Amino acid sequence: MLHAQRKKDKVVIIGSGWGGYTLLKNIDRKKYDVAVISPSNHFLFTPLLPSTTVGTLEFRCIQEPIRTVPNLKEYFQGKVSKIDFEKKIVTSDNIFKKEKSNDIPYDHLVIACGTKTNTFNTPGIADREGIEVHFLKHLFHARRIRNRILECFERAAMEQPGSKERSYLLSFVVVGGGPTSVEFVGELHDFLFTDIATWYPDLTKEVKISIIEASDHILGSFDKSLSGYVRRVLESRKITVMTSIAVKAFDHNTHSVTLSDGSSYPAGTIVWSAGLQPVKLVSETLSHLEKGPGGRLVVDECLRIKGVSSVYALGDCAVSLTAPLPPIAQAAKQQGKHLAQCFNMNQTDVSIVVSPFQYVALGSMVTWGGFKGAVDMHNVGKNKKEIDLGVFSGVIAYFTWRSAYWGMQTSWTNKILIPMHWFKSFVFGRDISRF
């Protein structure tokens, strides 16, 4: 006898980053109809993004296209602008045609829309974004930074030695002293003093690289001893590290930043990596929902949003008030995997039973160029049961960093391409063309 096939529940995932993509990869797509809505049609492996700003790695080898995930039911390249929790409908605005939108019904909704860069309304920063000022969050940001660096060298090469133009064009300012900034500065330094030094020998002598951090030390999330050590290493490479000082404004007419002590500092290129803030979907569309520190959506220990049925949030856009986690990839990834496992275990179509999420800290890693890095294993393990395995740094830590990120690649294409690009940039140098 033929049985009518039960309609599958539809899971809609907002966002294709660490949280959304991990959920998508792990959920049983034969059991659920899964739809993804995201303005990025790919997953970006963010820890390797700084390496693409100078060509140590090429852009395409650190991303995975969403549509290539087998059995994905639907993908919408759009931004969610409205959610009707009563009718269970999400509205996605087409990124190509502003006036067009799609209404997508859901049975279960997962919000994993991440955060955006916070400029703290600093005058001159948002206005000059994409020209002298650059964020470092998406692949297109990395591509712009790479072009800007090369543009500065080509333009400086046509200016008189010691001229004001040459001075600002060769001044690179990184705002924020977190791991992303330190890794970017390490990559930039390696690029300038290996590849650029070969092709523009006169210019590298005039290069200035600076990190400006508002708190009293860089690498705030790492062990304090490491912060001091990395600062000394960077300073030994003639990189200026300024702490307890903030950037108050950028003036593109004078090509300088104004600092909180009133002084000004030349800046031809600014990489702004100083803070995060909620995306419009969270801060405006979902303004009626409860928010925690950093304006993140409050979720319970099972990643559910209170007061609305079958809606979950994870990753950087969400926070549990009882067990808050920092906005890092490993938290978003573990949450995505946990939710997928809960969905997969579900036996009925009545309601999904989600068990409480428990985070397991796996340590943190950072690199600062020159084939050096550190692995901080101070607090590893399950929440409140962490153990201290200390910190190790140097070349071994650097290769641990590389091996770990290589191992985390989800496609064989990138597992092959990444070491090829590492080999190519080490043996033949990084590419210096601009297009």
Ligand X SMILES: Cc1cc2nc3c(=O)[nH]c(=O)nc-3n(C[C@H](O)[C@H](O)[C@H](O)COP(=O)(O)OP(=O)(O)OC[C@H]3O[C@@H](n4cnc5c(N)ncnc54)[C@H](O)[C@@H]3O)c2cc1C
Contact positions toward ligand X, by CB under 6 A? 14-20, 37-40, 46-47, 49-50, 79-80, 112-114, 136-137, 180, 279, 281, 315-317, 327-330, 332
Minimum distance from residue 289 beta carbon to ligand X (Å)? 14
How many Cα atoms sit within 13 Å of 353 on the Cβ side?
4
Helices (H), 253-371: 280, 329-345
Helix (H, G, I), strand (E, B) or coil at 47: helix
Minimum distance from residue 203 beta carbon to ligand X (Å)? 27
Minimum distance from residue 162 beta carbon to ligand X (Å)? 35
- 20 neighbors 36 (Cβ within 8 angstroms): yes
Which CB sits closer to ligand X, 137 or 255? 137
Which CB sits closer to ligand X, 57 or 156? 57
Minimum distance from residue 171 beta carbon to ligand X (Å)? 22
Which CB sits closer to ligand X, 62 or 247? 62
Minimum distance from residue 425 beta carbon to ligand X (Å)? 18
- 144 neighbors 138 (Cβ within 8 angstroms): no
Look-up: residue for tokens 């099972």?
302
Q: What is the DSSP letter of 386?
A: -
Tokens representing 381 are: 């393990």
Alpha-carbon distance of 99 to 376, in angstroms, equals 48
Alpha-carbon distance of 292 to 298, in angstroms, equals 6
Which CB sits closer to ligand X, 82 or 155? 82
Which CB sits closer to ligand X, 256 or 367? 367
Which CB sits closer to ligand X, 248 or 337? 337
Stretch (H or E) spanning 425: helix 412-428
Minimum distance from residue 297 beta carbon to ligand X (Å)? 11
Helix (H, G, I), strand (E, B) or coil at 108: strand
**DSSP string over 272-329:** E---EEE-HIIIIITTTS-B-GGGPEEE-TTSBBTTSTTEEE-GGGEEESSS---S-H
Alpha-carbon distance of 171 to 264, in angstroms, equals 13
Question: Among all residues, whose Cβ is closest to ligand X?
Answer: 17
Minimum distance from residue 301 beta carbon to ligand X (Å)? 18
